[in-house]
Amino acid sequence: MPGAYCRRPPGPATTGIGRVRHPFVQAACDDAAAYAEWAGKELPTEAEWEFAARGGLEGATFAWGDEHFPDGKPMANTWQGEFPWQNLKLDGFEGTSPVGSFPPNGYGLYDMTGNVWEWTTDFFTQRHPDEAEKACCVPKNPRVSGDEGSYAPGETIPRRVIKGGSHLCAPNYCLRYRPAARQGEAVDTSTGHIGFRCVVRGEAPTTTARG
């Protein structure tokens, strides 16, 4: 939509009235990082984001478990129907939904998957450089801090990892509203289905020597 921007995501003919509880969108990665710094917070790493999204359910397909629609109930704002021509809106929403419209995960966090993609600080690569054959040997918070290898073929803009999928993700198309799913997005991208969330990191725990 020409003229869409953060205060009027659907376009210039609309207003922000009624959207105060919707996720903030139309923010490029630097926009999100600048806000986080202003607020005294940070954007999460990819590993931090995925840990939070799982809500303690290690190995589960979705943030709420393994069943797509438990008891026939949608658990996130996603696309129902054949994307992109058939939107059944079984979850009650055509675009973004107000935060808190669906149950939180095991950590009490809302909308970790579905609704809008979320920026992370890691640059995108197909595989983490520190991956190992045994899970015990993989770093707990692997980081990709350099942009080498993050570029799409023929592109000159680096990509960072976005996580969580959005209201445009459908099982027949991408099924990326899973904690494990990931995608690379050019850092200058600002759309109506990419947002962000901030984190506050505590101090690392210290150990006390005991005699």
The more confidently predicted of residues 59 and 13 is 59
What confidence category does residue 208 fall into, taking pLDDT thresholds of 50, 70 and 90?
Answer: very low
The pLDDT of 115-120, averaged and rounded, is 98
pLDDT of residue 134: 60
The 10 Å CB-count burial string (b at 16+, else e) for 84-103 is eeebeeebebebbbbeebbe
For 77-97, the pLDDT digits (tens) are 999 999 999 999 999 999 999
For 123-166, the pLDDT digits (tens) are 998 776 555 566 566 666 778 888 988 999 999 999 999 999 99
The CA distance from 45 to 199, in Å, is 10
